[in-house]
Structure 1
Amino acid sequence: MGVIILYGFFCALLLFSLFKKHWGKPQQRGNLPPGSMGWSYIGETLQLYSQNPDVFFATRQKRFGEIFKTHILGYPCVMLASPEAIRFVLVTKADLFKPTYPRSKEQLIGPSAIFFHQGAYHSQMRKLVQGSFSLKIIRNLVPEIEAIAMSTLESWCGGKIVNTFYELKKFTFDVAVLSIFGDLDSPIKEKLRKNYCILDKGYNSFPLSLPGTSYNTSVLARKKIGQILFEIIRVRKEKNSVQNDFLGSLLNFKDEKGEILRDDQILDNIIGVLFAAQDTTASILTWILKYIHDDPKLLEAIKKEQKPFFEANDGGNLPLTWAQTRNMPLTNGVIMESLRMASIISFTFREAVTDVEYNGYLIPKGWKVLPLFRNIHHNPNFFTEPQTFNSSRFEVGPKYNTFMPFGIGVHACPGNEVAKLEMLILIHHLVNRFRWEVVVSSSGVQYAPFPVPEQGLPAKFWKESSANMRGQD
């Protein structure tokens, strides 16, 4: 989860930027970082879209260094690819760099959502999110997440081809709903899912509010979601029951003045958590399935680690325990290495709220600042042979500030533990109970909006017993 804008965001913002009146070449002043601002008006936007975004950033880092400037999507930008510079922007001097999102994104999620803010309100909301997704709370969710994982995996079986990423989005949505609402009636959950899927499809579309456009359809779905959530909130208030879920934390909150949250603030933060929880976790799970499918030795090693837990739980008839999920070092290393390799949160956006000097360079007020997490995760100075999948590299902790899959600082993802828990649970049952075969295996990447294997990793799944029978035919 957490504060998330990746490469897919560029696609919508490109057209949006065409209408920006200030889309000229910025005035050069002070000792700006090295780099190229490209052509007048369009900067280096065409170069960005004529190649893989990773190549665009990597080649400029190689040419200009770990701090460089460019001009893309209508904005002058400073790119940061050193741990020290990223920490300066996101931690040490975080108050000088505000989160920045197009207004169209705020409209779909809600302007009161946590990741559109900084300061006192952000701190209050962050404490609520952290408390709702703390280890103390999520340890009690293991049986319920396990039931969702089993239901999801069984629905894939029968030899049909499934879009793994798309199906995993259903799984992560259900876990997010569980964390936010606890038990939610199935008809209400399905209505919420249907409208959220519509909203999600238009999130990265061109923000044109005309009837029939993808963005307008998403805006209408957002209104329906609001109606659904307001009704859930009304019923919860009438029952006046105390529940240890995210909605309960929002409803029970009072600030130092005794003020409670408005319903629209509660609604916006619920949608924000849904957004942060679904695609990112589904994306990394899709990569995990690809990585272990493509490496039979790794798959066997994971099976070897997971089998004793499965047998201790009467062949899966008893639920996993919290202690068992805390004792899976190899599987956890696979998750960590997948997070590094895939770098779902490739970068984030900030905007300088005043002129800032760093290492002798000027970052002018109003310029966008992009910490490039992926560049650091793939830097051979920090990770030996970075393009090689090697889960054992996390047996020893990485160098300080070089591994940031959930971001760092006050806007780091506060729900990372529940995300890792659902990954561990799904992997456990996948390798013990099922076999799968990737139908289209390639090294291609698509952005939806986060990086996922090409075509969403089409695959076939079978239960273990069915897989053994297939092998005897």
Structure 2
Amino acid sequence: MGLPLVGETLNAMTPSYSIDLHPFVKKRLQKYGPIFRTSLVGRPIVVSTDPEFNSYLSQQEGKLVELGFFDSFAKILKLSGEISTAGSIIHKYLRSITLNHFGAETLKEKLLPLIEKTVVKTLDSWSSQASVEVKHASSVMLLNFGAKHTIGYDAETSSDNFSDKFSRIMNSLLSFPLNVPGTAYHNGLKDRDMIITMLKDMLKKRRMSPDTHRGDFIDQISSDMDKEKFLSEDFVVYVLFGMLFAGFHPISSIMALAFSVLAEHPAALEELTAENEALLKNRENPNSSLTWDEYKSMTFTHQIVNETLRLGNLGPALFRRALKDIPVNGFTIPAGWTIMVLTSALQLSPNTFMDPLEFNPWRWKDLDSLVVSKNFMPFGRGSRQCAGAEYSRVFLATFLHVLVTKYSWKTIKAGRIARKNMLVLGASIHIKLSEKKN
């Protein structure tokens, strides 16, 4: 369990210059097996990489476990009380409203062409620059698009720089919850409070001026405040904050990783390009927008997305809190302890994925669906699966479609694709994007 208070946090947060599992995890798995205990940022934690136990936990939402987080994560994002109660009417409402605005039907009927338009505009802007740091530039694109369709935010007319503030908040989530000036946690709280204040002003304006309604996420949740008692102003503001946060950071890391692995695997890039260029050739109008049927038909593109998600570990861990003592393998997880379901270990396991550190999108042709369901959970699983899963996949696939059909690129500065700590992927790569000549 490490040192008092600090526990084993310092070891867990040390950077690791490999896409493989962090050494902190790897050593303990070798020593203790697929389930072990530790102490991180002041919390006793059980880490599980056992597929059967993890599958069992996913069926125990609201019975044996509920959502649980590190203190810094929970306090900065206000993930406590009513928001974290598993299986509640609140969770069902939030999932429903999210799917209503970002789910498959909305993507099909409305968002897909808007996403493509945003990607086209973004990549056109990138091509005019000497070099682009992909992760940061992708974060800006994703956050601005998500904010526009969540709260009506217009990045071109706003003086608020959302992306920088959210990036600093991200860096504070796994820090010690020490609110002292100069610390990452303190700075994260300051940026959070500034965004919260802005969101409160937006919410008040929408509620006071119905004529400004645009049919977006904030419109629906603000109008529902008159019908649902649990939708207090503070609660709604933190829901909006959480929506914006969830929509930008993880996917930008995956986009950066995609540039890196495709540059290193020309055969994969060639097949990806051929598939997407074939879509254009089969259209009556080559300049028409990507359709939902075309998106669904992009077999190899989806394999690229899956393989990049597997290596990048979009959500490297799922956190639960034990509501009761939980027996497992002759031991007991005490009530109140946090359980970290380490999905990254499952996705990099040689027992499931042959040569797990190798980028091999072709492997997805032959993988058994049952094995995949227990060992590949980039968006969570069961009733808690991320409601934005299809939205993320569509954004990734559309980004790749526009990228390989319209542009080529060369790496200007290849930063290491590595683990910033045991949970966060560091993916820094600078590229020069050039438009393809017909």
1:221 partner amino acid: D
| Equivalent residue, structure 1, for 2:97 | 128
Report the Cα distance in structure 2 between the residues aligned to 1:198 and 1:102, rounded to whole angstroms.
17
Q: Secondary structure at the match of 1:153?
A: helix
Runs of 5+ consecutive residues of structure 2 not aligned to the other structure: none
Runs of 5+ consecutive residues of structure 1 not aligned to the other structure: 1-36, 469-473
Superposition pairs of residues 68-467 of structure 1, within 5 angstroms? 68-92=36-60, 94-111=62-79, 116-118=84-86, 119-139=88-108, 140-158=110-128, 160-181=130-151, 184=154, 186-188=156-158, 190=160, 192-193=162-163, 195-197=165-167, 199-200=169-170, 202-211=172-181, 213-237=183-207, 238-239=209-210, 243-253=214-224, 259=229, 261-312=231-282, 317-396=287-366, 397-398=368-369, 399=371, 400-441=373-414, 444-447=417-420, 450-453=424-427, 456-465=428-437
Q: Specify the structure having the higher radius of gyration (Cα).
A: 1
Report the Cα distance in structure 1 between the residues aligned to 2:436 and 2:111, rounded to whole angstroms.
26
2:243 partner amino acid: V
Q: Secondary structure at the match of 2:297?
A: coil
Tell me which moved more, 392-401 or 424-433.
392-401
Residues 190 and 321 from structure 1, CA distance in 2 versus in 1: closer, same or farther, beyond 3 angstroms? farther
Contact 2:62 2:85 in 1 (8 A): no
Residues 109 and 405 from structure 1, CA distance in 2 versus in 1: closer, same or farther, beyond 3 angstroms? same
Contact 1:206 1:215 in 2 (8 A): yes
| Equivalent residue, structure 2, for 1:65 | 33
What is the Cα deviation at residue 285 of structure 1? 1.3
Q: Alignment RMSD, CA only?
A: 3.0
What is the Cα deviation at residue 69 of structure 1? 2.5
Q: Secondary structure at the match of 2:375?
A: coil
Report the Cα distance in structure 2 between the residues aligned to 1:217 and 1:40, rounded to whole angstroms.
25
Deviation sequence 1:45-81 (CA, Å, 0-9, x none):
4544567462221232233222223344433332211
What is the Cα deviation at residue 38 of structure 1? 4.6
What is the Cα deviation at residue 117 of structure 1? 3.5
Q: Secondary structure at the match of 1:286?
A: helix
Residues 307 and 101 from structure 1, CA distance in 2 versus in 1: closer, same or farther, beyond 3 angstroms? same
Q: Secondary structure at the match of 1:123?
A: helix
Q: Secondary structure at the match of 1:234?
A: helix
Report the Cα distance in structure 1 between the residues aligned to 2:424 and 2:255, rounded to whole angstroms.
12
Contact 1:145 1:422 in 2 (8 A): yes
Identity of aligned residues (%): 24
TM-score with structure 1 length normalisation?
Answer: 0.80
Q: Secondary structure at the match of 1:79?
A: strand
1:334 partner amino acid: I
